[in-house]
Amino acid sequence: MWWVRVSIIVAAFFVGSFGLWRGMREEHKQEEIINLALGLAGLGIIGWLLVGAWGILLGWILAMSWFVKRYEWSWWEWLDSVGESGMSVGLVLAGGWGSVKLAAVFAGGILVTWLVKTSYRRIRWYKSGRRGAVGLAAVVCFGLAQMMVAKSSGRVIYLGGWELAQWAGLWVMIAAVTTLYLRAGHRVTQDIGGIWRRK
């Protein structure tokens, strides 16, 4: 029934909004956080209606880009907060719509983002300590979710045995991991040179 879906979407909105507010209330005005939450919800729903799950991600990126520019926020700081909250939103939506596999992925994503958030500054590999690690970890989890559930999506455009949504998930994961590698302060030439010198 339509009212069940609406109720699930409303619940996801409040869960996501609370996550944003809890994470950013000490550094930003409450009005700005609410405005961002409404923008994410609006563009996310429009994107979902037009493209599906990937539309949600695109809508969120557009909303974040606009608000970051308007309020002169740090992109990476907000990516961390939105990414962490997005895992909770995904869990509510997937659980409400009865997708056990997808809900399990987002539950794992909540754990992963929490672990990254509480430890990335102490990890030697992430030597820069810069913001963005949590959000990028969330993007990796989102890409993994799309790879795992695309077979049951009903969209039957295949390339090499995989749906296009699965290929998109793979490339999003690769892009996020690559960005995380660079944000950590690593460079391929330096790392390869270091390995060569040790040998």
- Mean confidence (pLDDT) of the chain: 84
Over range 125-133, report the average pLDDT.
Answer: 87
**Among 60-64, 83-87, 157-161, the least confident range:** 157-161
Q: Name the residue with tokens 């590698």.
A: 181
Over range 53-73, report the average pLDDT.
Answer: 90
Is residue 78 classed as helix, strand or coil in its secondary structure?
Answer: helix
| Tens digit of each residue's pLDDT (9 = 90 or more) over 83-100 | 999 999 999 988 877 778
Q: What angle do CA 19, 25, 29 make, to 5 degrees?
A: 125
In what helix (H) or strand (E) does residue 159 lie, and over which residues does it extend?
strand 158-159
> Quick one: what percent of the chain has pLDDT higher than 90?
42
CB 79 within 8 A of CB 135: yes
Q: Residue 102: is its pLDDT beyond 90? A: no
Residues contacting 183, CB < 8 A, separation 6+: 76, 128, 130, 132, 133, 136
Among 27, 26, 28, CA closest to 36:
28
